[in-house]
Structure 1
Amino acid sequence: MIIVGHVTYESQKSQGVMGTPMALKLLPKTSTKQHNFLYEYCVALFLSAHPNIIGMFGIAIESKEHYGFLYEAALQRDLISIIKPKEGIPEPAAKQCTKQLVSALEFIHHKGLVYRDVKPENVLIFGRDCQNIKLTDFGLTRPRGTMLKLVSGIIPYTAPELSNTQNCEGVPIDFTLDAWALGVLLFCLMTGYFPWEKTLPSDPFFQDFVIWQETGSTEELSQHWKILTTEAMDMLSKLMTLNPLERSPVSKVLWYLDQPWRVDNWRAQEELD
């Protein structure tokens, strides 16, 4: 549960000054262990110095029914609220967002942590056109190498190595999980679609992607991929390489920021030139 409000200091009240906007995250004790709450709070506080990671106020609370902590309020909502279905967001805004996301993820990785929750709902917007975005929600963040038992629910952002039901012992988590999820997020920004529903052989859209990765043929890919330029396709191919040992780091995306990502934008630029 997230509650947004303002905190006004006594010295400001007499001057009629609006207080600092803060968000209060409440975690019910019925479903949250104390050590899990403290872990998330401490990780968020540890990472909050980065300009593209949500700011923390160093204030944790406990009530009879909840644990909670205060953090910077995003008054302009999150990234999912501006992604138009079947359209995505304008390419300049997508690139502005991407540059900041890469910076935040690199910072997290430099600290030896894997974020593990890259998705639009966890990207908070400050300013118009993604001028400033910040990552939030660090409940799933873990040190690199932590053994992760296989997840029961597979979503579009789940890397295929986690979908391998034969590996009952789990896998050690790595930065490549964030690279995969970032690739899925960029596809959503550029197209307004998910590339697939699940990273499982039973999902025909994912199977078509596997064929492309294994053969280089794009014939079976859905029409959603057709609006992407060769450069954008190459970027996504590297981020979402099936073999995690061959997957590009998130920093690889920076090489493509000066390249066109959507065919319609590339054609418009060609006409101008």
Structure 2
Amino acid sequence: MNLNEAGGSADLLEEMLELTSQNLTQMELKDHYSIIRELGQGSYGHVLLVIHRARGTPIALKLLRKKSTKLRNFLLEYCISLSVSSHPCMVGMFGIVFETKHHYGFAQEVASFGDLFSIIEPGVGIPEISVKRCALQVSSALDFLHNKGLVHRDIKPENILLFDKDCRRVKLTDFGLTRRKGTIVRPMSGTIPYTAPELCNLGSSEGLAVDSALDVWAFGVLLFCILTGFFPWETTSGSDTYYVEFENWQKNGKALSIPSQWKRFDNDILPMFQKFLAIEPTQRGPAIGVLEYIRLQWKVANWNLNGNSVDNSKFLDDQANVVDNEHFINGFQEGHNSTLSAKSSTRFRTFSSNLLQDDKWRNT
């Protein structure tokens, strides 16, 4: 059962929630699965790699603690995950949902190469060709989600799964915060670099109507992060010098010089970031607009932390890979057009502290 693109999606989602609730089965994990190891954990619960005893199928089981998870929120995450899993850039689902004594759980496909976070080298990022592959696939997933009237609300490297080491196949996962467009949300405790300014600057008693612009902002920050191995700022508020510098540049355009942390990018690609990271939400995106820039050079070839010239042979190799992989780009565009016509913690805190504690890169 899939959500419609039109307004009927809300009613259909409610129907899915009701049917899933009625069919939620009680089970003992050890009766059906052999537990191999833990894939991840967080405040929500944990994810286990298991083997289905009868079929021998490797499966990832996401288990959410009943003590800290409302049944409706669990059902919402499962139903949304199932509804969007038909898209090739969304994590696959097995249609298995259950509860144990202490957890709610569901089954999804295993990403054999972990997540995008695991391959980011602090201060370096990942190769530009891999960034572009991720950008193509994640933007397609977001476009699909947004056309269904849904907003992910948690775009970050940990929620992008890898199915090979070169990012030729990645998938968006973790729909625990996903809500319908227009849903009123409150600011969460603490902020992260991916949080858009309109949400970051909400008062504690204020609410914000969820919009796809929140995902577009996070997508822009994600691209910066995986291209460089740094965050552009710690928080999108007036207390962050680097965000204020960027905000002033956005608002005043050519009247100000390019902020130091953005000089690492080719001038032709800066408009892409300015669109995704527009201060005014209505001026952002959409994320699929990355297609316009995919064949351009993104990073300055001879730029380093000190502004000195460096060996650009690795960059040139990457650019050759872009040419060699024209079939990848063309195939993606054809597939995307076909889709339109037919109508994914502790690690984050460690990552954040490691990348933001050293500001020397910002001083060029």
- Provide the TM-score with structure 2 as the length reference: 0.69
What SS does the corresponding residue of 1:190 show, helix, strand or coil?
A: helix
Which residue identity lines up with residue 106 of structure 1 in the other structure? D
Partner of residue 77, structure 2: 40
Partner of residue 348, structure 2: none
Q: Aligned to 1:56, which of 93, 97, 100?
A: 93
Partner of residue 287, structure 2: 250
Q: Structure 1 residue 67 and structure 2 residue 104: aligned?
A: yes
Q: Aligned to 1:236, which of 250, 262, 273?
A: 273
Structure 1 residue runs of 4 or more that deviate by more than 4 Å after TM superposition: 265-269
* Partner deviation per Cα, 1:126-149 (whole Å, 9 max, x = no partner): 012001001110011111111122
1: distance between equivalents of 2:81 and 2:227? 29
Q: Is the 8 A contact 2:216 2:287 kept in 1?
A: yes
Q: Structure 1 residue 139 and structure 2 residue 184: aligned?
A: no
Partner of residue 15, structure 1: none
Q: Aligned to 1:5, which of 25, 43, 50?
A: 50
What SS does the corresponding residue of 2:64 show, helix, strand or coil?
A: strand
Deviation (angstroms), 1:22? 0.7
Deviation (angstroms), 1:160? 0.4
Partner of residue 173, structure 1: 210
Gap regions ≥5 residues in structure 2: 1-45, 304-311, 321-364
What SS does the corresponding residue of 2:95 show, helix, strand or coil?
A: strand
Deviation (angstroms), 1:163? 1.8
Partner of residue 151, structure 1: 188
What SS does the corresponding residue of 2:166 show, helix, strand or coil?
A: helix
Alignment of 1:77-96 (within 5 A): 77-96=114-133
Alignment of 1:184-263 (within 5 A): 184-216=221-253, 219=257, 221-222=259-260, 224-263=261-300
Deviation (angstroms), 1:115? 0.9
Which residue identity lines up with residue 52 of structure 2 in the other structure? V
Which moved further from structure 2: 238-247 or 165-174? Answer: 165-174
Against the structure 1 CA distance between its residues 9 and 144, is the aligned structure 2 distance closer, same or farther, given a 3 Å change threshold? same
Q: Percent identity?
A: 50
Gap regions ≥5 residues in structure 1: 11-18
Q: Is the 8 A contact 1:188 1:195 kept in 2?
A: yes
Which residue identity lines up with residue 81 of structure 1 in the other structure? S
2: distance between equivalents of 1:248 and 1:68? 34
* Partner deviation per Cα, 1:31-68 (whole Å, 9 max, x = no partner): 01111111111110111111110011111121111111
2: distance between equivalents of 1:112 and 1:105? 11
Deviation (angstroms), 1:219? 3.6
Q: Is the 8 A contact 2:186 2:208 kept in 1?
A: yes
Deviation (angstroms), 1:235? 0.7
2: distance between equivalents of 1:151 and 1:8? 40
1: distance between equivalents of 2:119 and 2:75? 32
Equivalenced residues, count = 262
2: distance between equivalents of 1:228 and 1:119? 21
